[in-house]
Amino acid sequence: MKRRALIKNLGGLLLAPALPNYQLPTNPVVLRLAHLTDIHLKDEWDAPARFRRCLHHVQSQKPSVHMILNGGDVVFDMNKENLSTINNQWSLYHSIIKAECNLPVHYALGNHDIWWNENDKGQADYGKQFSLEQLQLSKPYYSFNNSGWKFIVLDSVHLDIDNTWYIGKLGDEQLNWLKNELASTPKETPVCVLSHIPILTATLMIEDDIVNKWEMTGGDMHTDTAKIINLFNGYPNVKLCMSGHIHLRDKVVYNNVTYICDGAVCGAWWKGNKRETAPGYGLIDLYADGSFAEQYVNY
């Protein structure tokens, strides 16, 4: 009798999915992203072949990746290079993307994508315009919607106060634009933010031989972090902020917002790992309810 009762109960458990009140999962993946940042492409160190390998790795993922978020530093370095070198690096990038990538790509500008040569400020290519034209962007910050999520791409790189180097910030005009973007977004629409320089990261604490304090520069992390975090505090639908720049991988959750700094596609500028972070990219699954799952992939 005990054996008969046990079999009966097991049968009830096995048949439970057929009962009228059984519900299938209601939180499907609506969008799968690959976050590629800090490629630093150059025709040296076997970088073109390695970048192709990365693109193939992304496009072989199962389930499939739907689009790429490129976090900036697309080419090796525009800062102080001559225009012929810069043109060669961009031509190489375009040729590889055209031949090897079938996915849509959305770009943020990195500090190495900006031509800040102090002796040539009068030229039309000075600053961000050259890269904007290469990436077919009308502005360095913008937003778009996809599969029920809103994506906000920020321009986090600006001239420092001495006008010779860069600093991480938004500036008043862009901060006001960001406020309006968030205010005009329906509260039920989850938001993902992309920047090159991290808004918030713990990677800057990783230094050798600390005596009694850590030192950070304004070019390592946003100098207006407090303003941005305070703004996000009023919008619970801001879920995820993606960045790169440091070539190290971390995840910081602060006030219900997840800040992910992903490692570089180039690792330590195509010379192996940057400390403990291998060359790789972020893989993110976005769900209909505003949640997400993420991992860092070594290609």
Instruction: List, in order of start, the domains of the chain with CATH numbers.
Output: 29-297 (3.60.21.10)
pLDDT at 26: 60
**Residue linked to tokens 């596609």:** 265
> Tokens standing for 231?
């703004």
8 Å CB contact between 69 and 295:
no
Cα separations (Å) of 232 from 225, 266, 271? 11, 31, 37
Q: What is the pTM of this model?
A: 0.89
pLDDT at 81: 81
Rounded to an integer, what distance in angstroms lies between the CA atom of residue 287 and that of residue 138?
30
8 Å CB contact between 138 and 132:
yes
Rounded to an integer, what distance in angstroms lies between the CA atom of residue 267 and that of residue 1?
66
pLDDT at 164: 75
Rounded to an integer, what distance in angstroms lies between the CA atom of residue 110 and that of residue 77?
10
pLDDT in tens, the chain (299 residues): 344 444 344 444 333 344 344 344 467 899 999 999 999 999 999 999 999 999 999 999 999 999 999 999 999 999 878 889 999 999 999 999 999 999 999 999 999 999 877 666 766 667 899 999 999 999 999 999 999 999 999 999 998 888 778 999 999 999 999 999 999 999 999 999 999 999 999 999 998 988 888 988 999 999 999 999 999 999 999 999 999 999 999 999 999 999 999 999 999 999 999 999 999 999 999 999 999 999 999 99
Rounded to an integer, what distance in angstroms lies between the CA atom of residue 295 and that of residue 164?
37
8 Å CB contact between 253 and 259:
yes
Counting Cα atoms < 13 Å in the Cβ hemisphere of 259 gives 20
